[in-house]
Every structure is written in C-alpha cells, then in structure tokens.
C-alpha cells in the first residue's frame, strides 16, 4: 500500500490518496503537475505537515486559540483566527438557546424551528378567532389548554426570547471585536 500526500509550498497537506502500486501509479500520471510525495503511511490533514520531502507530526497545540504557522512550523496565537473561533462558539451557544426552550406563565415551551412555526400558526389563528382554545403539548410532554389571548402573549414571549438571544449575541460580538488577547477572549462567554 502506498500513499500520495498532496501539499502546498508552505507544507500544508491538501489531500491524501492511498492504494496499491497500480492505482497509485495511475494517480501519479493524473497528478504529475501537482506537488506531492509518496509515503508508506497515510497522515491526516490536521496533525501533519510536509517539509523537505517528508511528513512530520505537528507539535502539540497548547491552546484552542492557536493556529498552526506553516512557515515557522509552530502553533501561534492569531487574533483574527481566535476571534473567528470565539464567534463560532458564541453563535453555537446562541443557536442552542434560541432553539431550546422558553418560559411563559410558568410553562416551558419548546422553541426549535418546527415548534416556533407551530406557535406562530397558533398565534395567527388566535388573532383571527378570539374565542379559540387549543390544547398544547409543553416541553415536558404535559398538555395545557390555552386561550386566544394567552396564545398572543405566548407569541410575544417567543419573539422576545429570540430577540434577547440575538441582542446578547450582538453584545458579545462587540466584545470579541474589542478583544486583543487570548485572556480577553477566554473571558467572553454566553
């Protein structure tokens, strides 16, 4: 079994193909204009790099805010990379909260995308028919009956919940943009 390791001038691995000698010889012919080396072992993209015609394991990463510098072959703090990483973390937390649950009148409602659409539909019905009552399954799977007026309030609370999630996200985005160090970024949390 042989492996072709494709890489950029800086040593970043861009592709790995493994196979028997015949299939690798065919690949060599197909990719003769690309930069690659042949090796016995298939390295992964994340933990290895190429230098001087050989594959090397990257040193251990000391912090999630470090980016591998292919010029120096070391992990280094990168403010732009770290800000993007922190923003991805905050967006994931915002999404989890936005589409998790919210509370109204002592009841907990699911608010995943489907639940939000269902609540919005119930609110529209309530606005068309003020005598409406509907049984609703809550987050704990109990069933509660709500009136049209209550559904309007539930819809308002859902809108406020979503708005609060995004407002918090905007505030944290400003903090991320203002951060100048790893410590500043570590201090930011959802």
Q: What is the pTM of this model?
A: 0.76
Q: Which helix (H) or strand (E) holds 92?
A: helix 79-98
- Whether 66 contacts 72, CB under 8 Å: no
Q: Which pLDDT score is estimated for 45?
A: 83
For residue 107, give the H/E element and its range. Answer: strand 107-110
State residue 102's pLDDT score.
98
Token pair of 66, please?
Answer: 């470090």
Q: pLDDT tens digits for 20-71?
A: 888 988 888 888 889 999 988 888 888 999 999 999 999 999 999 999 999 9
- Do residues 91 and 173 make contact, with C-beta atoms less than 8 angstroms apart? no
For residue 44, the model assigns a pLDDT of: 85
Q: What is the pLDDT of residue 67?
A: 93
User: What stretches in the chain show pLDDT beneath 50?
Assistant: none
Domains of the chain: residue spans and CATH: 2-58 (no CATH), 79-186 (1.10.287)
> What is the reported pLDDT for 30?
87
Give yes or no for a contact between 147 and 132, defined as CB atoms under 8 angstroms apart: yes
- Cα 146 to Cα 134: distance, rounded to the nearest angstrom: 6
At 90 the pLDDT is 98
pLDDT at 1: 82
Residues 63, 82: Cα–Cα separation, whole Å: 10
């Amino acid at each position: 079994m042989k492996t072709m390791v494709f890489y950029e001038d800086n040593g970043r691995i861009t592709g790995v193909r493994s196979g028997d000698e015949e299939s690798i010889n065919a690949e060599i012919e197909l990719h003769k204009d690309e930069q690659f080396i042949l090796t016995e072992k298939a390295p992964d993209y994340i933990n290895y790099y190429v230098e001087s015609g050989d594959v090397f394991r990257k040193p251990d990463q000391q912090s999630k805010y470090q980016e591998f510098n292919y010029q120096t072959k070391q992990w280094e703090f990168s403010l732009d990379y770290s800000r993007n990483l922190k923003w991805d973390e905050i967006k994931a937390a915002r999404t989890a909260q936005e589409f998790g649950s919210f509370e109204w009148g002592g009841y907990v409602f699911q608010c995943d995308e489907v639940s939000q659409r269902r609540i919005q539909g119930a609110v529209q019905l309530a606005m068309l028919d003020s005598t409406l009552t509907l049984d609703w399954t809550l987050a704990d799977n109990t069933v509660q009956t709500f009136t049209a007026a209550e559904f309007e309030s539930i819809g308002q609370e859902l809108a406020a919940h979503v708005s609060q999630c995004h407002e918090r996200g905007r505030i944290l985005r400003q903090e991320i943009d203002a951060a100048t160090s790893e410590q500043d970024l570590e201090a930011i949390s959802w």
